[in-house]
Amino acid sequence: MAEGEIQWLVAGLGNPGAEYERTPHNLGFLAVDRLAERHGIRISRKEAMALVGQGRVQGVTVLLAKPQTFMNLSGSSVNGLLVKAGLKPERLILLYDDLDLPWTSLRVRPSGSAGGHKGVRDVIRAVGSDEFPRVRMGIHGGRREGDGARIVLSQFGRAQEKDLDEVVDRAAAAVESIIADGVEMSMTRFNRRAGGLQEEEE
């Protein structure tokens, strides 16, 4: 690829608006913000229904994005950004929260189903593929019983706020690792087994 040409789209899923800012469902946004902070990238331009910023991560040009369409309609924004940058779906790294993983845990995957996540499902539908790397950040880990929407849209508790810095830092580091060393190496490095959790849930 030519120097300066975008090589990766890194998109975090979340909901726009101050009322959603400190909720588990916005971990994707928070992790992309941390990545931007670590690499001096300003996410402020509006493009394809997203806030975006372009810069260098691990020596390659990336586009960081936070779709502003609301979580469950994220696909058209992500696909629009891929098309505009001339990238195939496999050059997308998607960051999002996962109800089936314990809080503070993280999983890097090379591909896979949406696992019940409506935002991810919409991205897969829009880009026409599930063959893209993703970084899943655990927010609960209990069985998917009761009101999942209440869990993902509740404000972070005091204990969660204490862990939040480390959670988004690790997610940002996982993206850096995927870009620098590939998905397989990153899985080995970041997919630590959480207590009582099977190594592969799907």
Instruction: Compute the CA torsion angle 94, 99, 104, 110 (nearest 10 deg).
Output: -30
Q: For residues 135 and 126, give the distance between their C-alpha atoms in angstroms, rounded to a whole number.
A: 19
Q: Which of 25, 39, 117, 140 is catalytic?
A: 25
Contact 152, 99 (CB under 8 A): yes
CA proximity to 148, closest of 16, 22, 12, 24: 24
25 included as an active-site residue: yes
Which residues have a catalytic role annotated? 25
